[in-house]
Each structure stands twice: as C-alpha cells, then as structure tokens.
Chains A and B, each alone.
Chain A
Amino acid sequence: MIEIADLWKAFGPHQVLKGVSLRVERGSVVAIIGPSGSGKSTLLRCINLLEDPDRGCIRVGDREMHFGDSNRATPGDRELAAFRAATGMVFQHFNLFPHMTALHNVMAGPSIVRRLPGREAEDIARGLLAKVGLADKAAAYPSHLSGGQRQRVAIARALAMNPSVMLCDEVTSALDPELVGEVLGVIEQLAEEGMTMVIVTHEVAFAHEVADLVAFMSDGVIVESPPSQLLEHPENPRTRSFLARFHRFVGSFSGTQ
C-alpha cells in the first residue's frame, strides 16, 4: 500500500532523514515512535509530499513519485495536489479552518477539491461527523469546540476525501489528558475497519495496542520490529534507552500492560 525507499531529506545543513525505507501493507497500521527531532514528523510530511524529499521514492497505492532523479521533471502543483488528495493527514494542532463550521470543514475536500454538488458533499460530511460522534456539532465553529472535538472534526475532514491511507502526526499531543481517549477511540475504530494508517505517536501503550508494526525512529533512520517484541524486549540499544526513559517517565506503563 505504502512503500518508501531510501528517503533523504535535509533542512539546510541539518540532515533529518537518512535513507528511510518503510513498507506498510494494505489494511495494516504502523506506529512510529522515537525521541523528538528524530525525523518522525518529517517522514510523515514527506509521505504526502507536504515536504519535498531530496532523494528516494514514495509509492502510495498505485501512485509513485521519485525524487532526486535529474532526468525527471519535478511534479507540478496539480500532480502534487492529486497525490495528497489520496492520502489523509491529521495534525498535532488540528489545523481546522477557523472561518468555517465543523460541517464546512469536512465538506471542504469534497466540494472544493472533488467539486461534488453541495447536497452530496453535505451528505458525506454529515455522515462522517456522525461517525466521529459529532453529528450535533455540525453548525459549530472550531473556536466553540474542545480540543478532542476539533481533532475528531479534523479526522472527519481527512476521511471526507476517501483516502486510501491515513497519516496521523502526534494527534493527541496537544490535548488535555482527559480528551486523549475520545480521539484514540476514533483512530482505533478506523484501524478495526481496515484503514491503512501510519501513526506518529508518543502514546507507546496505544502504539502497542493498535499497531501491527511499531517502527522505532532515531536520528533519521528506522528500526522496526513487531510491537510486542519491540516494546517488551527491544534489541536495538537506542530503542532500549528511549523506552527505558519513557517507562520511568510514565511509571505505570509496564504495570498496565
């Protein structure tokens, strides 16, 4: 479903991705964990081309993009937009459109990008708001919603484009602890429905629970292994030290698992 091969990305002199490769099968969920600044978010932003990789190859579904090959023309605005339309993305800070109601936020993709008639776009949007449990908030502006509600609207907005994969970038990091559950619940539901997802998260317990594969990322490269093995018996010393610090920080983590 998603195949990333030897992806490189630098911001100025700072090399963020150093040859990342990753395969995500159709219907599977990959969680990416790792310390801040290890390149997790950059990787996610590269997958739907919000960042322009320097080198490497990205395939999502049957669309494929190559970078750093001087024989190929750089993809144009139209091509990039079409590629992004097929991959849904949810952000840490929601990034809802503040001048639109919840309903119009979700309708934005179907009506502006897919140019569906208003009635049809609205039906899709209302259906998705109901799916994330916010049917009654259709007319509310983002400023009148809680963080958890905003993030659920943002998930509905991404789903409205009927994406073949969903990318979630630390979607609970900006939430108050008591609101984390409602958002994770929606993500979990998507996973059960067979949505292909890549999730960058600090919720190690959640990654363990929902992901078929946990990839540990450190210093621009990926170390991957199945979740139970990675989380309970990490082999890579960097993974081990990261999780050790995390366990000490959370304290109760090992107890609840």
Chain B
Amino acid sequence: MTGAGYTWDFSFLWAYRSLILTGLEVTIAYTIGTIVLGLVVGLVTGLLRLSRNPIITAPLVAYVEIFRCTPLLVQIVWFYYALPVVIGVDIPAHVAATLVLSLYTGAFYAEIIRGGVNSIERGQWDAARAIGMRRGQVMRHVILPQAVKRMIPPFMNQSIIQLKNTSLVSTIAVADLLYEGTIITAATYRPLEVYTMVAIIYFIVLFPLTIAAQQVERRLARAD
C-alpha cells in the first residue's frame, strides 16, 4: 500500500454506527465512573496524607508513588493477568479495568488535594486556631473553601486525561470505543478510516470540555 494509491472511503462506517455508539457509551461510562471512584479514593488518600503520623502516611505514599510511577498500560495488564495468580482469584476484565483506572487517577487526585491544602498560607491556620477553631473546623471553614478553588483547574485537567486513559482498557477486551474500532477493523480491513474516526470522536468529546475548563479557570482567576 503506497501513500498515493490509497483511496479513503469512510462510507462503510455507517453500517457500524450502533457498535461505535455502544463503544462510546462504554468509554464515557468508564470515564465518569472511575472519576467518581477516583475522587473518593483521592479525597480520602489526600486528606489522610496530611496526617503527621507516619504509620498512616507511609502506606499512602507507597500507593500514590507506585501508581504514579508505573505506566497505566502495565498496571492494567498486571491487575488482569498477574494479580489473579497472586491472590488465586480470577478478576473479570471490567473489574480489573475499573479498579486500575480508579486507583490510577485517585493517586493523581490525592496529590492535587494534598497540594491544594498545602498551598494555603500558614497564617490562615494561625488565625483560625487563634480564635479557637479546632483542626477539623479550620479545615472545613477556612482551608478547604480556599483550597478547593485552587484544586479545580488541575482536577479538570486530570479528568480530561482520564477519558483518553480509558482507551487502554481495550487491551484486556473491555468493549470501549477503541476496542470496537479494532473489531470493525478486523471485519473490514480498513484500519486507516477506523482509527481516524476513533480519533475524531475522542476529539469531538474532549475539545469542548477543554474549552469549558479554560473558561472555568479564567473565571476562578478573576474571582481572586
């Protein structure tokens, strides 16, 4: 196949529209589901990481760094193929995919939350404690309201990346958009059109979200 001799033809894709739509639904479901679960994991991890007790923080540091410093693709493959051997229980693909994606993005969220809280000036703690607030009250009424504002932009960026990250679950046969693309390719032998279409769909979903994220960021900056 030479570059000049190839005739592009996207028309056959129409026949696969329901498959593509199902794939997109799965991709969006994994994105939203793992963002929510990841946020729970990240919130708990990020706030507990602020503890001064190393018995609490050491395992959390280990978790965050292991997930941040290994490739997501390797994590997915390892949880699906290696973990069942270690624990002696089979893990279905959708469970492994959800688990890894949530833990992976949760590690990043944890750092965003910890960083946001730590970015608030020491003087805010001093002033709040000086009028008699207890630790939890300082956190709830003084630190978090300010920190959340600073966490929103990195949180949105990480969540946008998460939608793209879900494409890696296709490697363990979870039927997301990319996986449906490989199915269509296998049936039609037209990978160029199929992967072009897949790329365009990701772009159509993500581009408006990045614009929205920029606008939120600008509005937050103005409100300061």
In the complex, A45 Cα to B137 Cα: how many Å? 20
Which residues on A sit within 8 Å (CB–CB) of B129? 50, 80-81, 84
Q: How large is the interface on B (under 10, 10 to 19, 20 to 34, 35 or more residues)?
A: 20 to 34
On whether the beta carbons of A50 and B126 are closer than 8 Å, the reply is yes
Scan B137-148; emit 1 where CB is below 8 A from any A CB, else 0: 100011001100
In the complex, A86 Cα to B149 Cα: how many Å? 32
Q: Contacts A97-B142, A99-B146: A84 and B130 contacting too (C-beta < 8 A)?
A: yes
Which residues on B sit within 8 Å (CB–CB) of A161? 131-132
On whether the beta carbons of B132 and A95 are closer than 8 Å, the reply is no
Q: B residues engaging A (CB < 8 A)?
A: 121, 123-124, 126-135, 137, 141-142, 145-146, 149, 224
In the complex, A158 Cα to B128 Cα: how many Å? 10
The SS class assigned to the B binding surface is helix
On whether the beta carbons of B134 and A95 are closer than 8 Å, the reply is no
List 30 A-B residue pairs with CB atoms under 8 Å apart, sorted by A's residue number: A50-B126, A77-B134, A80-B129, A84-B130, A84-B131, A84-B132, A85-B131, A85-B132, A88-B130, A88-B131, A89-B126, A89-B127, A89-B130, A91-B123, A91-B130, A95-B126, A95-B127, A96-B127, A97-B127, A97-B146, A98-B146, A108-B128, A108-B131, A108-B141, A108-B142, A109-B132, A113-B133, A143-B224, A154-B127, A161-B132
Residue of A86, A95, A154 most packed against chain B (CB within 10 A): A95
Determine which of A78, A87, A97, A160 lies in contact with B134 in the assembled complex, contact meaning CB atoms within 8 Å. A78
In the complex, A94 Cα to B148 Cα: how many Å? 22
Interface status of A59 (Cβ within 8 A of chain B): no
Count residues on chain A whose CB falls below 8 Å from chain B CBs. Answer: 31
